[in-house]
Amino acid sequence: MTVAILVGYLTLLFVIAGWSAKQSEGDDDYYIAGGKLGWILGGATLAATHASAGTFIGTIGVVYSVGWSFAWLILSIPAAYWFLAAVLAPRLTKRRHLTLPGFLEHRYESGAVRSVAAVVVLVAIVVYVQAQVVAGGLVAHVVLDIPPLWGMVGFTIILIAYTMIGGMMAVVYTDLLQLIIMFFGALLALPFALHRVGGLGSLLRQAEAVKPNVFSWNAMPTSLLLTMGLAFTLGSIATPEKLMRLYAMKDLPTIRKGTLLAIVTTLTMNLAVMTLALVSLVLFPDLSTGDLAMPVLAREVLPPVLGSLLLAAITAAMMSTVDSLLLVASSALSLDLYARWRPQSSEQAKAWVRRLGVIVTGAIPLGLLLAGVGKGELVQFIVLLFSAMMASCFLAPVVLGLFWRGANHVGAIAAMLSGLTACIGWKALGPASIDPVLPGVVASTIALVVGSQFTNINRYSKQTSSS
C-alpha cells in the first residue's frame, strides 16, 4: 500500500514536470514562472518551500530529543514572512530579477558582487540539500526496509531528474500538490495519534513521565534557543529561494495574500508536527535518533492509508524544498556565473550549464555524506546551519543595501565573505551554546559598514586632493 502510493505520487510529479517543460519558453518561465503567479500558487510554493525535511523530520526529531522548548521557534515564521511582504517586497519588486545575485549586481553596480554571491549561494545550498538527502534515506529505510544509503541515492536521482525537466513551472505546480499532501497529512494524522495515547491531557502527562524535562527550558541552553530563533528568522528573510518567489508573483497585493496563506499553513503544520513529536516520544522512547520519530509513527501507529499519506507528506516536504534549491543553484551557475563569463554563448550552451547546475548541486551533498561529512547530525541542525549561512552572507547586503545608499560593492563583498567565514568558523570552533548566526550577522554588518565607509572616505579624499 505505502509503496504503491509513493510510486503513484512520484509518477505524478514527473507528469507535471513534463507538462511544465512544454509551457516554459525562456529563462523568465524557467526561473520565476514568468512572474505571473496568483496568490494561491504563489503562497503555496512559498509555504511548501519553507516546509522541508526540517519540518517533518527535523522539528519532530529535535522536540523528541530535547523537549518542547524548541517549539517557540515557530514564532520566527510570521516574523520573517511579515518582513518579506511588508518591508522587502515593495522595494525588491520595483525591478524584477531572476536571481538574488542579479539583484545585488543591480544594486551595487558590480559584476564581482554577483559572482561572489553566486558562489556563496552554491556553497550554502549544498549544506541544505544534504539535510534533505539524509531525511530521504531515513524515510526509504523505514518504508522499503533498505539501507539508508540506497535511499539517499534514489532520492537524489529522482529530485535531480524532475527539477531539471520542468524548472520553476514544474516546481510551482508540484509545490501546490505537495502542500496539500503535507497539510492534510499532518492534520489527519493528529487525531489518530492522540487517540492512541488517550487524548491530549494524557499525552502531556505521559510525555513528562518519559522525559521529565520535556516541558522545561533547561533541556537546551537559553542562549542557543534564542540564537536559533534568530537564525530561522533572519535566514528566512535572506534566502534566495524565497526572494525568487516574490519575483514569481505578479504584483504586491498578490504577494501579501500569498504570504498570509504561507503563514497560516506553515504555522498549522508545525504545531501539528510538534504534537506528533510528543506522541512519538511516549510510544517509541528508545529510537536510535529523533529523526526516525515521524516515519516510525506513520508506519506503526496510523491506519495503512493514512500512514502512507503521512509518509507521502514527509517525502513532499523534502522534495518541495530541494527542487527549489536546485533551481536556485542552477540559476547561480547558469545566469550569475557562466552567462557573465561567456555572454555570447548560445542558448543551448546555457541550457546545458543550467542542467549541470542541478546535477552538480544535487550530487555533491550525497558525495559528502558518503565521505562521512555531516553523518549522524540531526536534520534540523543541518537546516539551521543553512539558515545561519544565508543570514550571515545576505542579510546585511540586501536589507542595508535597500535602506542605506552609502553601501557600496566593496562593503557588500566584504560582508558576504566575512559573514560566511565567521559563521563556518564559529560552527567549527565556537561554543555550541550560541548559534553561528549571531557572530556571522555581526561580522557581516560590521564588514559592510566599515568597507563601504572606508572606500567612500578614500574616494572623497582623492577627489578633494585632485581638485
Over residues 403-428, the mean pLDDT reads: 93
Q: Give the pLDDT mean for 405-414.
A: 93
How much is the pTM?
Answer: 0.78
396 inside domain: no
Is residue 451 situated within a structural domain?
A: no
Percent of the chain with pLDDT over 90: 15
Q: What is the pLDDT of residue 403?
A: 87
> pLDDT tier at 418 (50, 70, 90 boundaries)?
very high
- Contact of 447 with 411, CB cutoff 8 Å: yes
User: Given a cut of 70, is residue 378 above it in pLDDT?
Assistant: no
Mean predicted confidence (pLDDT) in 162-186: 69
Q: Within a domain: residue 466?
A: no
Sign of the C-alpha dihedral computed for residues 337, 339, 345 and 348 taken in this order:
positive
User: What confidence score (pLDDT) does residue 199 get?
Assistant: 92
Q: What is the mean pLDDT of residues 164-170?
A: 58
Which cell goes with 334? 547558469
**How many domains does the chain divide into?**
1
- The per-residue b/e assignment along 63-101, b for 16 or more CB within 10 angstroms, e otherwise, is bbbbbbbbbebbebbbbbbebbbeebbeebbeeebbbbb
CATH number of the domain bearing residue 226: 1.20.1730.10
At 320, is the pLDDT very low, low, confident or very high (cuts 50, 70, 90)?
low
Q: What is the pLDDT of residue 96?
A: 66
- Look at the alpha carbons of 368, 331, 174, 243 in this order and tell me if their dihedral is positive or negative: positive
Select the highest-mean-pLDDT range: 37-46, 223-232, 318-327.
Answer: 223-232
Per DSSP, what are the bridge partners of residue 37? 249
pLDDT for position 379: 66
Does residue 433 lie in a domain region? no
**CA distance linking residue 273 with residue 266, whole number of Å:** 10
Q: Is the pLDDT of residue 53 over 70?
A: no
The whole-number pLDDT of residue 373 equals 61
399 within some domain: no
- Residue 136: which domain range? 2-371
62-71, 176-185, 402-411: range with lowest mean pLDDT = 176-185
Is residue 127 included in any domain, yes or no? yes
The predicted model gives 408-432 an average pLDDT of 93
Whether the per-residue pLDDT at 309 is higher than 60: the answer is yes
Can you tell me the mean pLDDT for 27-32?
Answer: 51
Inside any domain, residue 381: no
Most confident range, picked from 135-139, 286-290, 308-312: 286-290
- Predicted local confidence at residue 202, as pLDDT: 93
**Is 440 contained in some domain?**
no
The model's confidence at residue 461, banded by pLDDT at 50, 70 and 90, is: very low
The pLDDT of residue 324 = 67
Instruction: Name the least confident of 97-111, 397-411, 428-442.
Output: 97-111
Dihedral pair phi/psi, residue 423, rounded to 5°: -65, -50
Confidence at residue 464, expressed as pLDDT on a 0 to 100 scale: 47
The whole-number pLDDT of residue 460 equals 44
